[in-house]
Structure 1
Amino acid sequence: MREPVELRRQRILSVVESRGAVKVSALAAELDVSVVTVRRDVEELARDGRLRRGHGVARPVREPVPTAAVPAARGEEPGGDAGAVALVVPERHTYLYETLHGARSVLEESGIRIALHIAPPSAGAERPLVERALADGARGLLIAPRWRSARSEELDYGWLANVGVPTVLMERRPRPGSALHALDSVCSDHWYGIHLAVDHLVSLGHRRIVLAARDDSPTARSIRTAFAEIAAARPEVAQWSVVLSSPQAVPGPDTPAPAEPRRSAGAGDGRAVLDLAALLREQGVTGAVLHGDVDALMLVQRLAESGVEVPRDCSVVAYDDVVAALGSPPLTAVAPPKAEIGRAAAELLLHRLSGGAGASGPVRRTELLPTLKVRGSAQEPPRSTE
């Protein structure tokens, strides 16, 4: 799906506001779009008064906090990332951009300069960015690796556990017992989020429920595992299944996902792309949890094209709440506390950087609970299916 214009421009603003003057050509390379596109975006942002434009350069309206505001290490020259906190997130990832802005607000209020690094989608892209930031003098790291597969996650464990500066993982929970188990982390409790979704559908009377989820991120893998556990443990759920929410929602052909557990025959193999209309007809499915909310909106549109009306024929709960409220109907959604994750991660990192009593205390693994935003996409199931 093509990235929305306003989201791309927000990414441009984030880079410019955190770094100061940035060349248009550098922005184009980092955002993986053409120079012409970035130049047009910069012109529009300048016209709206959101940044300043120079000869081939974009500048913030308000200059960032100077490096001198942050004590540099002895013998360090100002410039580069010296004294800054490096913030590394995947490109084109709306979910984590909200986390980024939460972290940024805390760091800026504390007078800490941010060095933002946006990782391209290639495997292992975060490591060279982190190494460059450290070479430039970054004194702390906030990072949300893409980790499209469990294998790519494990390949990052060794080097990320030994970066040598205080580090906090955002929205990532490494495998128990791994090299990163003892690394500070702040993330959403996705088990609880799925519990909210399933419990809402069950409370309305739904007994046959499907999860349509991505399979190309740690969040997606957590959601799929949680749904299988929760649905299997609820005696009210007569049948459940797990399918893909999008043909593009897989790690790649070289990293096949494990088969999903199944409650009963015909529950699905966990890999087929969702056809809710077919499940509704063949298995009597009346409720669906859809991850993420952009995929959810597209699936609801596909249902409408098949003559299936939400919520009359099938109730829907989206997992994530970036655009769910804009749907027709507006989608009931689980809302992970994305901005709060960023703020909590930044506060934890500042605690580690403070040098005061307790700064070297025990590792903290913090989980924040999602909430359920009830709207118009879920209701009691049709009587004929019960």
Structure 2
Amino acid sequence: MRQPSDARRQRILAVVRSRGAARVADLAEELQVSIVTVRRDVEELARAGKLRRGHGVARSLLPVESPGAPASVDGGAVALMVPERHTYLYETLHGARSALEDAGLRIVLHIVPKVAGAERPIVERALAEGVQGLLIAPRWRTLAEEEDAYGWLARVDLPIVVMERRPRRGSALHAADSVCSDHWYGMQLAVEHLLSLGHRRIVLAARDDSPTARVLRAAFAEIAAARLEDWTIVLSAPGAGADPDEEPPEFASVLRSRRATAAILHGDEDALMIVQQLAEAGIRVPQDCPVVAYDDVVAALGSTPLTAIAPPKAEVGRVAAELLLERLARPGAWRPRRIELLPELTVRGSTDRLTD
């Protein structure tokens, strides 16, 4: 028998007040109604000032009534740490910000400078400020820096979620909560798109100064070895390597020497610069060399808008924030989660079919 809307909303309000917070999906299951119906009820209750609505969550405005229920996290502060001048991770930051602000938490933003080991003292300062949790996207320029950070980050006595990084399996940080794009899948999308257009001789120009870059290089090598006739990996820009003094080769010369017919370029700004260099060398995109960029932050803004792989940057931040919020609300019953989100391919004007 269908419940009257007023009675259903009273039940929703009672559940939310007793628990402090409840997911819309869980409420729909318990009340045996659709998620759309519950979402509409929650919106109406929020407009009436009876609860607070977040991303897929309804939160109580009153203290938790049950002594055994999860505590409310409203009114506290969360530290959010990202590297300086990193446009990709700034999108992740904004995704996390909306979820945290909807939950009533204050955000304490820390910008980490481009200095090896800079994260640790900033994390220690954040702990001293009394934050409730930590969202962190470490720079980890080299693999050695990444390995060094595992131990001390694992000892942080605070709920922590690592964003857009996947700690090595078996490391001290393996059991930490983390939310990351599936970059192996993203590279597969790029290669498969070019293969579908007839290209089997592909060059990857990629950075080598972040965990994402290292995953992309390894993924391309694995996929290319199985699917391509010829391939190679080169550095995409000066200062983009683990050794900041390493210089990239002249890209047009690489294409000609390998008889490559297409390229994958990481990241966007480097990709736009390489396309300009190719034009100066008389190599047209896409007529002579189709290009797929990886990141899709500014890829669409080139004189030829670049086909690009778009990791779900903002969604990574949002999901990481929601994961932290859920952990804060359930301090005594938590199992760490490693979440991967899938990138998408956006086809624009920089790729075309191979011609004889």
Are residue 378 (structure 1) and residue 351 (structure 2) matched? yes
Contact between 2:207 and 2:241, CA under 8 Å: does it hold in 1? yes
CA shift at 1:382, angstroms?
3.3
Matching residue within 117, 120, 137 for 1:144: 137
Are residue 230 (structure 1) and residue 203 (structure 2) matched? no
CA shift at 1:278, angstroms?
1.3
Number of the residue aligned with 2:316: 341
Matching residue within 290, 305, 322 for 1:330: 305
- Consecutive unaligned residues of structure 1, counting only runs of 5 or more, are 1-68, 72-81, 255-270
Number of the residue aligned with 1:250: 241
CA shift digits 1:18-58 (9 cap, x unpaired): xxxxxxxxxxxxxxxxxxxxxxxxxxxxxxxxxxxxxxxxx
| Percent identity between the two aligned chains | 68
Number of the residue aligned with 1:287: 262
CA distance in 2, matches of 1:280, 1:121: 32
CA distance in 2, matches of 1:201, 1:172: 27
CA distance in 2, matches of 1:296, 1:367: 25
CA distance in 1, matches of 2:255, 2:131: 53
CA shift digits 1:66-112 (9 cap, x unpaired): xxx999xxxxxxxxxx9310001100000000000000000000001
Q: Show the 5 A alignment for 1:25-64.
A: none
Number of the residue aligned with 1:123: 116
Contact between 2:203 and 2:255, CA under 8 Å: does it hold in 1? no
CA shift at 1:202, angstroms?
0.6
Are residue 110 (structure 1) and residue 103 (structure 2) matched? yes
Q: 2:337 corresponds to which letter in structure 1?
A: R
CA distance in 2, matches of 1:160, 1:194: 29
Are residue 84 (structure 1) and residue 77 (structure 2) matched? yes
Are residue 217 (structure 1) and residue 192 (structure 2) matched? no
TM-score by length of 1: 0.71
Count of residues in correspondence between the two structures: 285
CA distance in 2, matches of 1:154, 1:243: 24
CA shift at 1:277, angstroms?
1.6
CA shift digits 1:187-223 (9 cap, x unpaired): 0000000000000001100010010000000000000
Contact between 2:264 and 2:294, CA under 8 Å: does it hold in 1? yes
CA distance in 1, matches of 2:322, 2:164: 15
CA distance in 1, matches of 2:86, 2:133: 22
Q: 2:205 corresponds to which letter in structure 1?
A: A
Contact between 1:313 and 1:382, CA under 8 Å: does it hold in 2? no
TM-score by length of 2: 0.77
User: Relative to structure 1, is the Cα distance of residues 210 and 70 closer, same or farther in structure 2, using a 3 angstrom cutoff?
Assistant: farther
Number of the residue aligned with 1:206: 199
CA shift at 1:381, angstroms?
2.1
Are residue 366 (structure 1) and residue 339 (structure 2) matched? yes
- Consecutive unaligned residues of structure 2, counting only runs of 5 or more, are 1-60, 64-74
Contact between 2:239 and 2:247, CA under 8 Å: does it hold in 1? no
Q: 1:277 corresponds to which letter in structure 2?
A: A
CA distance in 1, matches of 2:85, 2:244: 21
Q: 2:232 corresponds to which letter in structure 1?
A: S
Q: 1:329 corresponds to which letter in structure 2?
A: T
The structure having more radius of gyration, on CA atoms, is: 2
Q: 1:248 corresponds to which letter in structure 2?
A: G
CA shift at 1:363, angstroms?
1.1
Number of the residue aligned with 1:278: 253
Contact between 2:238 and 2:244, CA under 8 Å: does it hold in 1? no
Give the secondary-structure state (helix, strand or coil) at the position aligned to 1:169: strand
CA shift at 1:184, angstroms?
0.3
Number of the residue aligned with 1:194: 187
CA distance in 1, matches of 2:244, 2:95: 35
User: Relative to structure 1, is the Cα distance of residues 103 and 205 closer, same or farther in structure 2, using a 3 angstrom cutoff?
Assistant: same
CA shift at 1:147, angstroms?
0.1
